[in-house]
Amino acid sequence: MKTMHMWLPSAVCYGLCFTAGAFVVGCVTEGQRDEIESSASSAIVLDVNASYTIVGVQSGKCVGVVGESTSSEAAMELETCRGVASQRFQPSPTDGGFFQLRNELSGLCLDVSHISQADGAPVIQFACKTSLNQQWSFTDVGAGVERITARHSGKVLDVDRESTADGTAIQQWTSHNGANQQFRLNKALAPIAPE
């Protein structure tokens, strides 16, 4: 089983290199800090052969596809965790410590709609390609809690209006370190087929 190791610099330590397994894929200097802050992290290990649930710290609920849809452009929402494939995402490394997140049910990737740079842009699923709006970094903010940042915009995965209700939209927003912008990536067990 191949495990993806992503070693990234902390905000106070520079000159460390990004690694993917045994391969160095890029180095960071102090002058590049602002450009890559979204990917700055202590060590995070993702198994590229596994799927993960993305669980909101504030709500304890999962990011999932509205209505368990397999359609392109279906929106992401906050849902009670049920262990279903529409709430599970498989990481696939790109470069620079970024990952695509492929939905286990649909095979589509987590995507910021229309490559938007705006606060409030919906996060959807879309056919996987090399676009930067489908690439995400993980910043450890403590105790296994992650901030998930879109590469194209530098904005983070966010639960709309800090709600904890099922059906709340998942969007991108400027980071403000709120609990609605913090998630745990939990390695998933065997999938439960949708009913």
The domain ranges of the chain are: 50-187
Helix (H, G, I), strand (E, B) or coil at 161: helix
Question: Looking up tokens 């669980």, which residue turns up?
Answer: 55
Q: Going residue by residue through the chain (195 aa), what tens digit of pLDDT does each one get?
A: 444 434 333 333 323 333 333 333 333 333 433 444 434 444 578 999 999 999 999 999 999 999 999 999 999 999 999 999 999 999 999 999 999 999 999 999 999 999 999 999 999 999 999 999 999 999 999 999 999 999 999 999 999 999 999 999 999 999 999 999 999 999 987 655 555
Count CB neighbours of 7 within 10 A: 16
What's the topology of domain 50-187?
Answer: Trefoil (Acidic Fibroblast Growth Factor, subunit A) (2.80.10)
Residue 170 in contact with residue 63, Cβ under 8 Å? yes
Q: Determine the pLDDT at residue 195.
A: 56
CA distance 174 to 65: 22
User: What is the C-alpha end-to-end distance of the chain, expressed in Å?
Assistant: 30
The closest of 84, 92, 88 to 104, measured between CA atoms, is 88
Q: How far is CA 189 from CA 27, 87, 88, in A?
A: 34, 12, 10
Residues β-bridged to residue 18: 26
Q: Determine the pLDDT at residue 18.
A: 35
Q: Determine the pLDDT at residue 44.
A: 75
Q: Determine the pLDDT at residue 45.
A: 84
Q: Determine the pLDDT at residue 95.
A: 94
Q: Which amino acid is at 88?
A: R
Q: How far is CA 22 from CA 42, 46, 84, 193, in A?
A: 17, 14, 33, 36
* Torsion angle (degrees, nearest 10) of CA 187, 95, 178, 141: 70
Length of the chain equals: 195
Helix (H, G, I), strand (E, B) or coil at 45: strand
H-only helix segments in 30-172: 33-36
Predicted TM-score (pTM) of the model is: 0.77
